[in-house]
Structure 1
């Protein structure tokens, strides 16, 4: 009987949230299917740029949810399998006890060498023990079913993930074409490429470049009436990402910048946080490809680190307009689903730098943007 008690103590079931993971995966699948529908509709949409932008953002949300759900499913499946493997001996003993109880005639199993009193005590103890053993057997059966469910879920969702990755790449290609064909944006000024080149060559800091922006334009009209009244502190981040480094925090080389660094996934779409005038697009200093936006007079958003940039200096764009795409290669499906990637940040291999300048003085971006959620 002591051995039975030890088996019971070792075999208390560990709760596995398979149903919850299934629900998350179904929600992600639904999001990807909706994005696929949006992609079909975007081809015939009057404003293809807006439709494709919304489609790519929907894909990014769905793919992010799918990755998270699948990684958690892989982690739970691995934990559950390890738990079952570590209890092979106890499971074998439990099955042996249950089989012996089920196969032996009741009068024989109840006989006790100490006579009737011993037989009565053994019978009472066995009556209490049998339901507990059955519960443990049911829990073991449920654990095995959960493993099978998680494995089936991962196999099906991996196919959907691959389809989603292919479709979002098609949407990005279509967006590139739509942006190249777009001619309907109003312009506040025309950039002078000669003056721009001279300014870039003669400045060594972002301060110097920003202060000279007003000198490299021609045919400038009245300033745009865009204003951030009531929006400061509540602006959306321009990309779905996680805060990697805050303003003033040193990087691995000890370099401190006054802006915010976001970790993003490869190929993520970058959009204008609000209506703005594009003041500059292109390479700049050591920032890589840069887009500088003017959301209101005397304020600039410097967005750096893009792979592809959209738009031209002087154009006035609405909030949510795509201004570029992040670079990087998409991970293989096996890497996407690996539990080792969970929490490591390796799936967000690209970085976007955001600097806010008011009267050419850097401001803390977290006082302007919402950074409390994963975009």
Structure 2
């Protein structure tokens, strides 16, 4: 490039000045659009981050959505944010393509102007043919070299905000529903005979025998790691169990079953999506009345949390409401389960973070409902509450 500059100056100062000005013009075209380009990249990065975060959250929350029979909503939300991500990336790429096109057109126009100018000097006998040929070559090389340097500078500015390519972890369904019997009629009974479940060749549940009928209040007790939650999930949706195990639903043998239309599974924690509080807690039963929801909010002592919010139940949830305490999150989980209004409830240590008074209040309410079947896992439970269960399974 230095040699090109020296030769252009040697032949004609005017050509050098014009060439330099035009080279700066080549730089100015992308530079003037850099601010807008950064805005496009910023939007693309934001949608990229949202898509990645939602993808991770989708995997974490899949069991919550699946247990409520609402995986279709999860897929719909994921598709919506995925489309936003693709749209933002497409706009960004199109804008970058426009920048390249404008720079290319500018270079071609500069070359045409320089050729016209040099031709004029040749016509006026200011330059010889040999000088014109040499000057054309060195000015072209000068412009190209100058353009390369400036393009690298532009790329450097843009690369500071360029995001990494993401891999969507939400790649496939977590469950296989082949050979699954969907229970449409009233759920009367579940029977496990010699039920065995292994994970990675390790026996987690060994020859479990139990019978649960509608209206039962069943407590599953045991130390940490003995398979209490595993048994609860297998009762809710049995899979990957030993072939010698026998399962019966409503006195009929089956290989598998899906009882989500009759039952709700309440985990010890709850995943709250980026939506209104109302839509989150009524996910399984959007037709429920506000009066009923208000009753449950007051009963679970969550009404004061809602009252503090400017938009109440219409407040958009951010960051899965991580600022809530463990007890508040468990009460929200119970709230969602109560709002679902299913006749069977599977409770996985839902009172582990509750104080004794609140736990007793909630358990009394649930266990006194004769038409409600309760299957509950607990690590520890007060003696006075044991008498409220008519069946206790110790692992």
**Fold match by TM threshold 0.5:** no
> TM-score, length-normalised on structure 1?
0.30
Scaled by the length of structure 2, the TM-score of the pair is 0.29
Answer with 1 or 2: which has the greater Rg: 2
